[in-house]
Amino acid sequence: QAIRETQGQGVMPDGTSRFSYKGKPILHYMGCSTFANFTVLPEIALAKVRKDAPFDKICYIGCGVTTGIGAVVNTAKVEPGASVVVFGLGGIGLNVIQGARMVGAGQIVGVDLNPEKQQLARQFGMTDFVNPAEVGDDLVAYLVALTGGGADYSFECIGNVDVMRQALECCHKGWGQSIIIGVAGAGQEISTRPFQLVTGRSWRGTAFGGARGRTDVPQIVDWYMDGRIRIDELITHSLPLSRINEAFDLMHAGKSIRSVVVY
């Protein structure tokens, strides 16, 4: 909580900034400010991991991997055999997919407008691919039919409030859960008809996959080292700090999943 109260202000838990340029303070970003050769972190933000893990790979666990897999394991607690629909097959969505595969989900449906996402998603465990542009006007009805009455769990990994509604409404009546992972724009709101909720569906949010960093991050590192999850294929580019803007360009153009900046 000490971190959360000051993180949005761009300062350390003690209210100070540890960066400056030409005598002027530079604010911290998201509590860690990793786009720097050296940084200062609060002790509570550190997790000890095994020494044989390659840091240029496990660095991705610090957010995307844990957020996606944790949403499945910790937040939704997906059971073996369950049906899952994942909206958005980027870095977060692919980790939701491999988390669902890891726990034994029976059907894993990926939804994305980019058909190029299909091949990699299948490698990570997706069983069905749906391109909304090819389905027609009623994506929800299509997904309900595809999952045999609605998904047991759905995950919105985009941050689009309209898609959040579709993710809820494609869930099964009586018990379906929709987990919101994507971050919508400031001031945006979600809505649905109350009927969608009183018939047994539920909307839930998740942050960092409901993980406890000190214990869960080392556990996920172990899963990677033991071959239970895959990370290497998700890191599509590795660039030096001098080319960091190229990494952002690749991200905005949808040509990368994750880029690692190597110092």
CA–CA separation, 31 vs 4, rounded Å? 8
Place of tokens 């761009």: 10
For residue 159, the model assigns a pLDDT of 95
Q: For residue 258, which phi and psi values (nearest 5 degrees)?
A: -140, 140
CA–CA separation, 217 vs 208, rounded Å? 10
Domains and CATH numbers, the chain: 1-46 (no CATH), 62-210 (3.40.50.720)
Q: For residue 136, which phi and psi values (nearest 5 degrees)?
A: 115, -160
User: Tens of pLDDT along 36-72?
Assistant: 778 888 888 889 999 999 999 999 998 889 999 999 9
For residue 104, what are its two tokens? 């034994």
Is residue 2 pLDDT above 70, yes or no?
A: no
Q: Would you say 256 and 94 are in contact if contact means Cβ atoms under 8 Å apart?
A: no
% pLDDT > 90, the chain: 75
Confidence of residue 1 (pLDDT cuts 50, 70, 90): low
Is residue 255 pLDDT above 70, yes or no?
A: yes
Mean pLDDT, residues 163-187: 96
Mean pLDDT, residues 120-125: 96
CA–CA separation, 151 vs 15, rounded Å? 45
Of 92 and 136, the structure prediction assigns the larger pLDDT to 92
Number of DSSP helices (H) and strands (E) in the chain, helices first = 11, 10
Q: Would you say 180 and 71 are in contact if contact means Cβ atoms under 8 Å apart?
A: no
Across the chain, mean pLDDT equals 93
Is residue 121 pLDDT above 70, yes or no?
A: yes
For residue 107, the model assigns a pLDDT of 98
% pLDDT > 70, the chain: 99
Residues in a beta bridge with 21: 24
